[in-house]
Structure 1
């Protein structure tokens, strides 16, 4: 059974990626979530509606012990499973001006994005190397590429993941493992629901927000055998928003 793991797979971009990986590439999808089990069940229903299969896994990517325990238990009960694709999508935003930013708002955003990437990817990396195949895709953000005021913590976390993507890609390329980052701009999701879309559209050359399915299409391509010669890349999907 060939599998793909998507962290933060219960809603928005993560949900769209889960459904697309099952639908287009035939993966059994592990849907990670932390809080909203009902939303994760909706994602699973979306996968099953297209004829695919999936499993819901609850753990906090920022908690090393929780990640290790959940994934170890799943592996031990599914010895025939082979993880081929890891999508590090889990992330949180706690926006505010840096001069008023609390230590907790800084640390929690860094821990979820950066340490979450480490905990999940490190758990599987030796297995990917032994099987000589893998696709690691890190969801960053336009904020990690150009920086966004009011998001110093979020920009720092996503920029760190950008650097990790480029470094790890060089370490594992000889074993047919690619590591790439996808940097969405303004995408319709819970994270952008409270933004002033009418005003922000003026900043976007394409004059609209993107859809989660458009990001999922890109991730699905990078997760496929067709993308075997693309690694260490950051691919922007932002409607033309550049600094």
Structure 2
């Protein structure tokens, strides 16, 4: 029998009102972890009218926007219904003052944070193509409209996807070392498009920075008993993948299907567990073989 050793631990999971974050919070709670959830109601993403999909019940942008706008109440209810411990706080990670606040609130609810899952992200399609000169808006797969690169777009992506992650790692490490602890887990969620993400260039670059921060943290924090690893999901059905694109993914994935949030959550739970005690500084692609190295 595998003993993953998470009973009684405390986790802080960002971006956990839906999708991978919500599945991760529930998976950890099922293993006896007290979970503190951070989330933020997100404004709707833009999309070309003809690609809106089947409304708020079928996969497509409308459904994805509806899920992004959810509170964490549903996740809390699901965890509590199974006898788990969880609380939540809505807060914007692009504000540096949010970071210590999250740890303070988590500690007040459950005690010191031992597992940090940096899952929250900001993603709006952008491109180097000067569409204002060409008279067309570059289109992402699935019909998302991309805008030409701007300073403000760059800064927003990096504020959430890179800077906030680095600040969360720093705060976690400071409190961990101050308490003289010797067990800690940090798992950062990247994207399999991070090395080069055409039409989502700021998103991809900010996730690549997250990967660099993660490896540096693994080198520096191992002496304190903290492991730091990266999960890089492939195509995951969080509501945004239309049936047409899902079929394309199925056809190009060795395991023959699009991923589900639970598929990623299980890998994150493994990395948090005692079974992964000798893994640090690693990147795991979780995508059914959609990408291989």
Corresponding residue to 2:123 among 75, 84, 93: 93
CA 1:68 to 1:209, structure 2 compared with 1: closer, same or farther past 3 Å? same
CA 1:167 to 1:15, structure 2 compared with 1: closer, same or farther past 3 Å? same
Note if contact 1:58-1:70 (Cα within 8 Å) is conserved in structure 2.
Answer: no
The SS at the match of 1:48 is helix
Tell me the residue number matched to 1:13: 20
Normalised by the size of structure 1, how large is the TM-score? Answer: 0.90
CA 1:102 to 1:192, structure 2 compared with 1: closer, same or farther past 3 Å? farther
Give the distance between the partners of 2:19 and 2:174, measured in 1 at CA.
30
Give the distance between the partners of 1:55 and 1:193, measured in 2 at CA.
32
List per-residue Cα deviations over 1:136-175 (Å, max 9, x = no partner): 000001011x422111111101111111111110111122
CA 1:74 to 1:218, structure 2 compared with 1: closer, same or farther past 3 Å? closer
Normalised by the size of structure 2, how large is the TM-score? Answer: 0.76
Offset of 1:84 from its aligned partner? 0.7
Tell me the residue number matched to 1:23: 30
The SS at the match of 1:30 is strand
List per-residue Cα deviations over 1:203-236 (Å, max 9, x = no partner): 3222211110010100001101111100000001
The SS at the match of 2:205 is helix
Q: How many residues end up aligned between the 2 structures?
A: 239
Corresponding residue to 1:132 among 168, 173, 182: 182
Corresponding residue to 2:104 among 64, 72, 77: 72
Give the distance between the partners of 1:194 and 1:94, measured in 2 at CA.
21
* Cα RMSD for the two superposed structures: 2.0
Offset of 1:37 from its aligned partner? 7.8
Q: Which moved more, 1:51-60 or 1:190-199?
A: 190-199
Q: Which moved more, 1:155-164 or 1:63-72?
A: 63-72
Note if contact 1:176-1:228 (Cα within 8 Å) is conserved in structure 2.
Answer: no
CA 1:135 to 1:191, structure 2 compared with 1: closer, same or farther past 3 Å? farther
Offset of 1:51 from its aligned partner? 1.5
Offset of 1:38 from its aligned partner? 4.6
Q: Unmatched 5+ residue regions in structure 2?
A: 1-7, 42-67, 130-147
Name the one with the larger helix percent: 1
Q: Which moved more, 1:58-67 or 1:207-216?
A: 58-67
CA 1:200 to 1:116, structure 2 compared with 1: closer, same or farther past 3 Å? same
Offset of 1:194 from its aligned partner? 8.4
Give the distance between the partners of 1:109 and 1:115, measured in 2 at CA.
9
Tell me the residue number matched to 1:59: 91
The SS at the match of 1:116 is helix
Give the distance between the partners of 2:197 and 2:185, measured in 1 at CA.
29
List per-residue Cα deviations over 1:69-89 (Å, max 9, x = no partner): 3433553x44x6021100000
Tell me the residue number matched to 1:188: 237
Give the distance between the partners of 2:243 and 2:94, measured in 1 at CA.
26
Offset of 1:54 from its aligned partner? 0.4
Tell me the residue number matched to 2:74: 42
Give the distance between the partners of 2:253 and 2:34, measured in 1 at CA.
36
Give the distance between the partners of 1:21 and 1:219, measured in 2 at CA.
9
The SS at the match of 1:39 is coil
List per-residue Cα deviations over 1:44-71 (Å, max 9, x = no partner): 1121122101011121112101222343
Offset of 1:39 from its aligned partner? 3.3
Offset of 1:109 from its aligned partner? 1.4
CA 1:147 to 1:17, structure 2 compared with 1: closer, same or farther past 3 Å? same
